[in-house]
Amino acid sequence: MDDHERSRYLSVYLNDHLAGATAGRARFARSARAHRGSVVGEALGRIAGEVAQDRRVLLRWMRVLGVRPRWTLVALARAGEAVGALKPNGRLVRSSPLRTVVELEALVLGVQGKAALWGALLELGERGAPLPLEEVEALLARARRQAVELEELRRAAVRDVLAPGGPPGLG
């Protein structure tokens, strides 16, 4: 594989993650608002801020690596996230308790994808790409922490919504 082909693949890869980061930022913000005043809302609000920071870092590193953002793809991802928010989850008029379970599952998957991105960028940095390795490692650790925290919230939501007679988890 030649350098031009690698550069093209890197552009596609980073733009796909930028699109995911854009959709994730919107989903975290929307979910944090929906759960305002609860343990879930507090955690999602904090992580939403971190996700927004992560997206800015990704854009900065794309510039460093010479990758131009594909704003059309980003806009499509944002629109897709907005359409996905319309899913009723068993109710048409009111919000369903199942929505929390489904949203947390999506957020866990998004953060796991972000951790995979940071891991890939760590590999690039270790092979000479102009990326600050300590910062990449810190972002990878943060993504892993976020995934653990979200998984704990997801499991509590499953107990609350789906498990008969299970102990309350989210209060």
pLDDT in tens, 32-44: 999 999 999 999 9
pLDDT tens readout for residues 11-28: 999 999 999 999 999 999
In a domain, 59, yes or no: yes
Give me the chain's average pLDDT, please.
Answer: 88
Does residue 1 belong to any structural domain of this protein?
Answer: no
Task: Note down the domain range covering 136.
Answer: 7-161
Q: Are the CB atoms for 6 and 47 separated by under 8 Å? A: no
Is residue 67 in some structural domain?
A: yes
Q: What is the pTM of this model?
A: 0.84
Does 138 reside within a domain?
yes
pLDDT digit string, tens, across residues 135-161:
999 999 999 999 999 999 999 999 999
In a domain, 94, yes or no: yes
Q: Is residue 171 part of a domain?
A: no
CA distances from 136 to 1, 15, 106 (A): 26, 18, 23
CATH number at residue 131: 1.20.1260
